[in-house]
Amino acid sequence: MVAKKSGRNRGGGGGGTAAATEVSVEELARVPLQAILLADSFATKFRPITLERPKVLLPLVNVPMIDYTLAWLESAGVEEVFVFCCAHAKQVAEHLENSQWFAQPNFSVTAIESNNAVGAGDALRLIYEQNVIRGDFVLVSGDTVSNMSLAEALGEHKERRRKDSNAIMTMVITQSKTSPTTRQSRLGTDELFMAIDPDTKQLLYYEDKSDKGTVSLDKTLLSDHPSIYLHNDKQDCYIDICSPEVLSTFADNFDYQHLRRHFLKGLLDDDIMGYKIFTHEIQSNYAARIDNFRSYDTVSKDIIQRWTYPLVPDVQFVGNSSAKLDRQGMYRASVVGQSRSAQVGPFTVIGSGTTIGSQSQISNSVVGEGCKIGANVSIEGCYIWHNVTIEDGCQLKHAIVCDGVVIKSGVILEPGVVLSYKVVVGQQFIVPAYSKVSLYQQPIKQDSDEELEYADSSSGFMDASSLSGLPDKLKEESTIQLSESQLQAASEVGSGGVGFIWSTSEGSHEEEWRHSVAPIPAAKLLEIMHTSNNELEVVQQDGNLPPSGELERDSVTANSNDYDDDDVDVKDDYEVFENEVEATFKRALEENIKEDDVILEVNSLRLSYNLATADCSGALFYSMMKSALSAPHPSPSDLVKNAATVITKWKKLLKYYLPSIDEEIEVILKFEEMCLESAKEYSTVFVQILHLLYDKDIIQEEAILNWASEKEGADETDKLFVKQAEKFIQWLNEASEEED
């Protein structure tokens, strides 16, 4: 019976070759396939909603998330599932009891409750102690949506195990291109780097938090493996096929909590045990994990777009509520009261018993069961759960509205708003973007250190359990307290409103848009694009520099240069070179590098940018003057003094680049240019500095005279400095005559 069942499943799923089915059928006959489902993500990304209900029970397109996972496991041929519940364990267990899952033939679901687990590691250690896992098992989180067939991955895993008993885990990955602008995947997770051996599919490196934008691989990897592929277009599905050794590894390492951050990296770094991890890439099947509000939005849309078939709203894969699919991805339950003038747009799901008033517009949204939507309401890209009342004239954009919320007339929800359970928003109130509103007050302890996330979530969990897991008496008390606090909070969400607006700490507010249901605003995207472009430039420039004169002149034109690639080439080359030289010089100043070394470095720069010596002298002089300028100079005379010291110190260096009159003239021209544009402070002391240069034998009189005669024919504006230097030039002329 077992074999028959799984075989049919695969046929139905459309995936999996006949041969693979055969293999897995044999395997299944020996040991029933088991799965561990973690019904707690040990994270706080879904706060404040998860204060009242566990994440796995949140409705995803009107069906609790955990049902997607269970339905998939069931259809993939898993026979025994251990559901590990921690936060709100009672609610999860209750849901499982009321659902059909306990009544399934050939599919047993066992709930394991615990109150003191603070991470996945604790959960797995507890399960290890219970000694229920007998063979290979599937480890998933309760927020996974997938329709993949496990047969192939399982077959590969078993095959590898037979050859090498150290191959203890197979990770399921899928291709997913990260957005080039935001460097985050469509699911809102950070860019993920994985190094995989293309022949054996062994995972060699895993990095999902590369803040620096750099990836460093151990060179032994390269010596051990003939070839390595480094991917950044893969997505971790968080579906792992594990051997029992995984559990014992957790038991041995009591400090492992996070599956990826601790366990996976631990295994990759540590080669004492020699355990290996492999990957299995799925091609066309769907698998994703809901990690934050962004992925909630994305996965919901994927479901509506039917990528998860047969886990779609019009197929009753769970329960009895089914919707009918109309053209353009409109799913309507059988009993919906919709006004004739209401417009329900494409890609929308309407739950049963919902009424929609006249002239209302709904598009790209999910509306749950028993909602009352008034007239002239506009809803766009929202997730409205069950029994929500929305009065006339409201405008909702990209918001999540939980069960039992009442939105009074004329309310406007700006993008990214989350309204937790039973919140009431008062009339005409405008809920600001990305705000989260809950009946519960924000926990004061805001320890958002990433490294300590699990510890943090443990404290969060304690909060949650104290709210949900309390005996009834205490609960009542807390509700009384709640109603008192509700009164206090009334003003926060408009008149007659109930709920607290959670404040986001300054640091995280920046990141709020990343993980919200709302699409990233265009302005933000532009900003990111800008910064990422600049970042790129900075990397090229090798250091954090103040931009050179050309760039500083006008930031707008500089930007347009950035975007306009064709026009940048020649001009920018010199600018970049100038910056490089300046940086080199600065470093020389700071680190007291010898002149010879500086010369060497500048020469190599000159060669790499293919420029003349005249450019070097100009750039070097420019950077010297810049450094003089950067030193404090209360009066022009101090400035001259500064310049004098710098010039005296680096005379030899500058002299090296002034082999002929032409270069010297170039320096004067450069100086003139500086005085006009980037360093106007010098314009008053132009003559003094010129004199200084002459005195220090950097510039010969011939050069100055040539410069003066060159400028003779120029415009009046260009002659500004020549005129200033008139006396000096005259004196020089006289001196030379005398000599003659």
Partner 1 sequence: MPDVHALVNDFLIKLKRRKIEGSKATAKVTAEVLRSFISQQRLPNTNQAGALIDAVKAVGEQLIAANPVELAVGNVVRRVLHIIREEDLSLTAAAIGGLSLSAGSDDEDDVGHDEHPALSAAAVAAAARSTLRPPSLQTLLEDVPHTAAVPHTSSSGGDSEGKSKSADKNSSTKRLKHNVIEAVNELIQDIVTCHEQIAEQAVEHIHQNEVILTLGSSRTVVEFLCAAKEKKRSFRVFVAEGAPRYQGHTLAKELVTRGLQTTVITDSAVFAMISRVNMVIVGAHAVMANGGVIAPVGLNMVALAAQRHAVPFVVLAGIHKLCPLYPHNPEVLLNELRSPSELLDFGEFSDCLDFGSGSGSPILHVVNPAFDYVPPNLVSLFITDTGGHNPSYMYRLIADYYSANDLVLQRRSAS
Tokens encoding 446: 């805001």
List of E strands, 462-542: 500-502
Q: Does 11 bind partner 1 (CB under 8 A)?
A: yes
Which of 331, 323, 324 lies closest to 347 in space, CA to CA?
A: 331
Q: Does 207 bind partner 1 (CB under 8 A)?
A: no
Q: Which region, judged by CB under 8 A, interacts with partner 1, from 27-35, 161-169, 240-248, 309-317?
A: 309-317
Give dist(CA 527, CA 523) in Å, integer.
6
Cβ closest to partner 1, residue 174 vs residue 688 = 174
Question: Residue 109 pairs with which residues in a beta bridge?
Answer: 81
Q: Does 324 bind partner 1 (CB under 8 A)?
A: yes
Cβ closest to partner 1, residue 329 vs residue 469 = 329
Cβ closest to partner 1, residue 24 vs residue 182 = 182
Give dist(CA 114, CA 509) in Å, integer.
33
Each residue 510-549 as x (binds partner 1 by CB under 8 A) or -, in order, gives --------xxx----x------------------------
Q: Does 704 bind partner 1 (CB under 8 A)?
A: no
DSSP 520: P
Tokens encoding 397: 């954009």
Choosing from 170, 298, 338, 458, the residue that interacts with partner 1 (CB under 8 A) is: 298
Q: Does 309 bind partner 1 (CB under 8 A)?
A: yes
Q: Rounded to 5 degrees, what are φ and ψ at 127?
A: -65, -35
**Sheet with 354-356, edge to edge strand ranges:** 336-338, 354-356, 372-373, 389-390, 406-407, 424-425
Which of 44, 4, 45 lies closest to 25 in space, CA to CA?
A: 4
Angle, helices 65-75/2-13, rounded to nearest 10 degrees: 110
Q: Does 691 bind partner 1 (CB under 8 A)?
A: no
Cβ closest to partner 1, residue 8 vs residue 723 = 8
Q: Does 329 bind partner 1 (CB under 8 A)?
A: yes
Each residue 384-423 as x (binds partner 1 by CB under 8 A) or -, in order, gives --------------x-------------------------
Q: Does 21 bind partner 1 (CB under 8 A)?
A: no
Cβ closest to partner 1, residue 179 vs residue 736 = 179
Instruction: Report the residue count for the chain.
Output: 740
Helix (H) or strand (E) holding 242: strand 234-242
Q: Does 134 bind partner 1 (CB under 8 A)?
A: no
Q: Does 266 bind partner 1 (CB under 8 A)?
A: no
Tokens encoding 711: 């400028």
Nearest distance from residue 403's CB to partner 1, in Å? 23
Q: Quick check: 425 and 493 in contact, CB under 8 A?
A: yes
User: Residue 372: CA atoms inside 13 Å, Cβ hemisphere, count?
Assistant: 9
Q: Does 248 bind partner 1 (CB under 8 A)?
A: no
DSSP, collapsed to helix, strand or coil, labels residue 558 as helix
Nearest distance from residue 303's CB to partner 1, in Å? 11
DSSP, collapsed to helix, strand or coil, labels residue 277 as strand
Q: Does 599 bind partner 1 (CB under 8 A)?
A: no
- Identity at 461, one-letter amino acid code: F
Q: Which region, judged by CB under 8 A, interacts with partner 1, from 50-58, 97-105, 492-500, 597-605?
A: 97-105
Tokens encoding 147: 């329709």
> What is the end-to-end Cα distance of the chain in Å, rounded?
116
Nearest distance from residue 339's CB to partner 1, in Å? 21
Nearest distance from residue 580's CB to partner 1, in Å? 35
Q: Does 636 bind partner 1 (CB under 8 A)?
A: no
Q: Does 460 bind partner 1 (CB under 8 A)?
A: no
Cβ closest to partner 1, residue 315 vs residue 661 = 315
DSSP, collapsed to helix, strand or coil, labels residue 113 as strand
Torsion of CA 349, 352, 356, 361, to 10 degrees: 0
Q: Does 713 bind partner 1 (CB under 8 A)?
A: no
Q: Quick check: 342 and 348 in contact, CB under 8 A?
A: no
Q: Does 104 bind partner 1 (CB under 8 A)?
A: yes
Choosing from 4, 163, 327, 473, the residue that interacts with partner 1 (CB under 8 A) is: 327
Where do we find the tokens 């329709």?
147
Choosing from 182, 457, 623, 724, the residue that interacts with partner 1 (CB under 8 A) is: 182
Give dist(CA 663, CA 606) in Å, integer.
15
What residues between 360 and 389 interact with partner 1 by CB under 8 A? 363-364, 381
Per-residue DSSP letters for 396-446? Answer: EES-EE-TT-EE-TT-EEPTT-EE-TT-EE-TT-EEPTT-EEESSPPPS--
Nearest distance from residue 509's CB to partner 1, in Å? 18
Choosing from 283, 505, 544, 610, the residue that interacts with partner 1 (CB under 8 A) is: 283
Choosing from 308, 435, 584, 724, the residue that interacts with partner 1 (CB under 8 A) is: 308
Q: Does 69 bind partner 1 (CB under 8 A)?
A: no
Torsion of CA 146, 152, 155, 160, to 10 degrees: -90
Choosing from 32, 244, 310, 443, the residue that interacts with partner 1 (CB under 8 A) is: 310
Nearest distance from residue 334's CB to partner 1, in Å? 6
Q: Does 351 bind partner 1 (CB under 8 A)?
A: no
Q: Does 64 bind partner 1 (CB under 8 A)?
A: no
User: Residue 515: CA atoms inside 13 Å, Cβ hemisphere, count?
Assistant: 17
Q: Does 52 bind partner 1 (CB under 8 A)?
A: no
Per-residue DSSP letters for 284-311? Answer: SS-EEE--SHHHHHHHHHHHHTTTTTTS
Q: Does 302 bind partner 1 (CB under 8 A)?
A: yes
Footprint of partner 1 (CB under 8 A): 8-9, 11-12, 14, 71, 75, 103-105, 147, 174-177, 179, 181-182, 184, 186, 188, 235, 283-286, 294, 297-298, 301-302, 305-310, 314-317, 322, 324-329, 334, 347, 363-364, 381, 398, 518-520, 525
